[in-house]
Amino acid sequence: MFLEREKRQIPSRSLAGVCRYGSRLECCYGWKKNSKGHCEAQCDLGCKHGECVGPNKCKCFPGYTGKTCSQDLNECGLKPRPCEHRCMNTFGSYMCYCLNGYMLMSDGSCANSRTCSLAHCQYGCEEVQGEVRCLCPSPGLQLGSDGKTCEDIDECATGKNQCPFNRQCTNTFGSYYCKCQTGYDLKYVNGKYDCIDINECTSNTHKCSHHAECINTHGSYKCKCKQGFRGSGFDCSAGFLTDCDFDRGACEWVQDDQDDLDWTIKYHENGREYYLALEGPVGNRKEQARIKLLLDDYMRQSSFCLKFDYRIQVQNMGVLRVMLDNSAVAVWERRNPLNRSWQSEQITITWTENTPEAIIFEAERGRSASGEIGLDHVVLISGPCSDDKSDIF
């Protein structure tokens, strides 16, 4: 019996990133063929200040370190020290300078100079044609008015920086660096580093109220109070005028003493919650049961949203209406709905004059002597309704 040999990757000694698969030569795992047909190493997170030399392996340029070569290497902290006297670290590099009384030579060393010693330079000096001149170790520093000490040049304020339009310049002593604007994060995308918008809403770093909706924007976010709440979005307070589920009575709703029938409180099928009902066997056709909510001065606004659950249980059971006390025309009504189970409804009620004093639910008996008209979870909210009919809680 002959056993099939296991296929193994055998690196080719002549080409980097090329492996032998039996008789075939292909790019090894972690390498990808480029436009010239050569295998290139792939670094998923990129190499910001370096080059990719192997699968997810960066070789950093001098002055940089880290897995993606995105961090500054503090050369001044290395051993042996790169400078003879003093060292100033800069982003991606460093500067050497000498103690007072010494002169910086071309090879970076410091030579004793009586002339420099007399000049009292902060960062050393140089002699040019017998003239002593104090030095500053960085292009971001300039000699002060005394000609001896070095002052920082604010590249951000003077416009001498080279930050891209979507980066923010941050000044440092003797230099500067470019960071992403507030609301953006530096990420490696499509083969390069770029400032990408931070979605504060999905990352849950926003400060919106628990009763507000977070809306992401470029570089920031907005907060919008949910329906039933009002405020800045960062602080939202309840905008309920009334909220009644009839589990503890009729709340602020009262029976109309001028109607024909009364609403009754009944158990839901679960036996734990209550609702209002006009039952079919009660009363005669065209007789009405009304329950109303008196609108006091606080509740008399130019508009409000009325949310409620209802059901009309059987055909020809009757009509359910929403009315205002100063109008004979219903602002909403339902009869013989196709769906006989509980339904949720919301309506915006507005007016410009003749402010009503009460809102009324009116149930009118139909021909059927069975079934019922049910009403539950009545909520009155200041302001117009939103498009969302879901539970406001």
Within a domain: 226 = no
Find the domain containing 44 and state its range: 30-72
Please give the pLDDT value at position 114. 67
DSSP 3-state assignment of 114?
Answer: helix
Could you tell me where the beta strands, DSSP code E, fall in 50-130?
A: 50-54, 57-60, 64-65, 71-72, 86-90, 93-97, 102-104, 110-112, 125-128
Q: Is 161 a domain residue?
A: yes
Rounded to whole angstroms, the Cα distance separating 166 from 184 reads 9
Residue 68 maps to a domain: yes
3-class state of residue 134 by DSSP: strand
Most confident of 12-16, 73-77, 121-125, 335-339: 73-77
What is the mean pLDDT of the segment spanning 141-157? Answer: 92
Alpha-carbon distances, residue 42 vs 18, 94, 135, 358 (angstroms) = 13, 30, 45, 72
Determine, yes or no, domain membership for 204.
Answer: no
Strands 318-324 and 332-335: antiparallel
- Give the confidence band of 333 by pLDDT, cuts at 50, 70, 90: very high
Please state, rounded to an integer, the average pLDDT across all residues of the chain: 83
Tell which of 90, 117, 152 closes a domain: 152
**Is residue 7 predicted with pLDDT exceeding 70?**
no
> 306 and 174, same structural domain?
no
Residues 6+ apart with CB under 8 A from 196: 184, 185, 186, 187, 189
Pairing of strands 175-180, 167-172: antiparallel
pLDDT > 70? residue 240: no
What is residue 207's predicted lDDT score, i.e. its pLDDT?
93
Give residue-wise pLDDT tens across range 101-132.
Answer: 677 776 667 777 666 767 788 887 877 776 78
State mean pLDDT over 286-310: 83
Give domain status of residue 181, yes or no: yes
Query: Looking at the structure, do residues 272 and 342 belong to the same domain, yes or no?
Result: yes
Tell me which of 58-67, 92-101, 325-334 is least confident.
Answer: 92-101
At residue 389 the predicted structure's pLDDT band, cuts being 50, 70 and 90, is very low
Residue 213 lies in a domain: no
Q: Is 4 within the bounds of a domain? A: no
Residues in a beta bridge with 179: 168
Residue 116 φ/ψ, nearest 5 degrees: -65, -35
- The answer, yes or no, to whether residue 269 has pLDDT greater than 60, is yes
Work out the angle at residue 12's Cα, subtended by the Cα atoms of residues 6 and 17, and round it to the nearest 5 degrees. 100
Count up the domains in the chain and report the number: 4
Q: What pTM was computed for the model?
A: 0.43
Q: How many H-runs (helices) and E-runs (strands) does the chain carry?
A: 2, 36
How would residue 300 be classed by pLDDT, with cut points 50, 70 and 90? low
- Indicate whether 186 and 312 sit together in one domain: no
* Amino acid code (one letter) for 106: S
Contact 290, 322 (CB under 8 A): no
Q: Among candidates 290, 291, 267, 289, which has minimal Cα distance to 280?
A: 289
Q: Average of pLDDT values for 160-188?
A: 86
pLDDT in tens, 190-236: 777 788 899 999 988 999 998 899 999 998 999 998 876 778 899 88
Please report the pLDDT score of residue 298 as a whole number: 52
Q: Where residue 307 sits, what CATH number does that domain have?
A: 2.60.120.200
pLDDT of residue 6: 40
Residue for token pair 């117009």 = 384
- Classify residue 217: in a domain, yes or no: no
